[in-house]
A and B are shown apart, each in its own frame.
Chain A
């Protein structure tokens, strides 16, 4: 396997007493799209929330095991720093309604109290929006609020917002589940381009999406990692019976 940028070692995650992620060890290769798939309730969202320490925001939540970002334990780092290095895009597009498109892209800087020079700010906004393939659509409306944008555009704005702080990894938590097919395929195309500059971890319950966009696929079932490998191999010759059943739609 190529360079692993992010690794988990026997990661367990709990809500109170219930263990929802069970001893998952995985290595996420750099500049690839890694899909985490599984039926709903299998712990895939909880799993990626451990990767940027969002899991601990829920009261009663805790983890065991290790998450290493470039061999550094993220649970020994400042949580705010971890979250800037490991960005996140959520199921439902959530641009800040009180901010303009421009301010939304720069929200990561504003929230962290980092002041930018005007030229720097402009460059980051343009660059991030270009990466999210929406510069041409919104360049004339930068100072309007993002609420008039379509769902797909809002989601791409959220992607631009997470890219703006230059993360090493971006976690996409079912980013297209609230979008129509056209907007979905646009975001899927986008992932293909994005992985040149950033490592992507995609949570999806959509088998087709995993097969279309990912290079590696992990299959999670009831909190356990059933199978992990190159997408092509997982989809053509799955090692586990469970994976096979899931892929042909026996459950899920």
Chain B
């Protein structure tokens, strides 16, 4: 009996430590942000000038960089993850091809992001540079466009897995009802399966977005690390995450360091909210669908 209780106590303790750790990270970010919040106020969010020498710290270029790369990546990846999900969830639930595809998707998320960055530098950057030369724009090769392409590959697994699961949960008797009215497979998917799985698909998108917003290494390697407000899709830029990674070690001065921490806090809050909403929707829909 005593053993039982000790075991339970250990489990509870470990759980508590994890929760406290998360809280501690949040609090230390908040604490570290105070000097910047005090010095810059709201200006931090809308000023576009980032100049450590004159002590000007505006987060706007990085906010924009983060949002543009993330949403574009989401838009590019969505057709792929939806197609894969429909294939795996509706057409080919078992068999060699579907196992291969599932393993592939898992592996896409397992590849370390530095390898994506590496691959981006070696393969994508020259490719994009060629395109830019043909388009007659400065051929940096690195920039928002390149980062977006890398990101869109990296986020596919996050929505594909969820969306597949939700599609698999659509009750058979609804599909049968549709078939019995003379629907083809495509019509069943379009008018019955997808509307039914709608909120799950949305949740999958959110999880992908959360991943894209926070991705650091691969993006840092190919985005060009330019602290100006990006003027075009091909312009070198920076995201919040890549800026922090790049400048943290050399941030001297109270406000400089603190404004980087504030950026981290912002990223933390946004990704946390997006993940919580995503998970909440998934829980609600899967519970509903299983009933």
Q: Could you tell me which A residues sit within 8 Å of B by CB distance? A: 52, 54, 57, 80-84, 87-88, 90, 92, 94-99, 107-108, 110-113, 158, 161-162, 165
A78 CB to closest chain B CB (Å) equals 9
Q: Mark B170-209, 1 if CB is under 8 A from A, else 0.
A: 0101101111111110011001100110100000000000
Contact of A111 among B171, B173, B178, B198 (CB under 8 A): B178
A87-B180 CB under 8 A given contacts A96-B192, A97-B196: yes
B103 CB to closest chain A CB (Å) equals 23
Contact of B188 among A52, A92, A111 (CB under 8 A): A111
Contact of B176 among A94, A110, A111 (CB under 8 A): A94
In the bound complex, residues from chain A placing their C-beta under 8 Å from that of B198 are 98
Q: Are B180 and A112 in contact (CB under 8 A)?
A: no
Contact of A94 among B174, B184, B191 (CB under 8 A): B174
New contact pairs (10) apart from A98-B196, A107-B177, CB-CB < 8 Å:
A82-B182, A84-B182, A92-B173, A94-B171, A96-B177, A97-B174, A97-B196, A107-B191, A111-B183, A165-B182
In the bound complex, residues from chain A placing their C-beta under 8 Å from that of B196 are 97-98
Q: Could you tell me which B residues sit within 8 Å of A by CB distance? A: 171, 173-174, 176-184, 187-188, 191-192, 195-196, 198
How distant is the Cα of A98 from the Cα of B194 in the complex, in angstroms? 10
Q: Are A111 and B181 in contact (CB under 8 A)?
A: yes
A-B contacts, 8 listed (Cβ < 8 Å): A83-B179, A92-B173, A96-B178, A97-B196, A107-B181, A111-B187, A113-B187, A165-B181
How distant is the Cα of A158 from the Cα of B183 in the complex, in angstroms? 16
In the bound complex, residues from chain A placing their C-beta under 8 Å from that of B173 are 90, 92, 94
B51 CB to closest chain A CB (Å) equals 53
How distant is the Cα of A212 from the Cα of B273 in the complex, in angstroms? 60
Contact of A83 among B174, B180, B192 (CB under 8 A): B180
How distant is the Cα of A91 from the Cα of B182 in the complex, in angstroms? 19
In the bound complex, residues from chain B placing their C-beta under 8 Å from that of A57 are 176, 179
How distant is the Cα of A84 from the Cα of B198 in the complex, in angstroms? 27
Q: Which residue of A lies closest to B288 (CB)?
A: A97
How distant is the Cα of A113 from the Cα of B173 in the complex, in angstroms? 21
Q: Are A107 and B178 in contact (CB under 8 A)?
A: yes
Q: Which residue of B lies closest to A84 (CB)?
A: B182
In the bound complex, residues from chain B placing their C-beta under 8 Å from that of A81 are 182
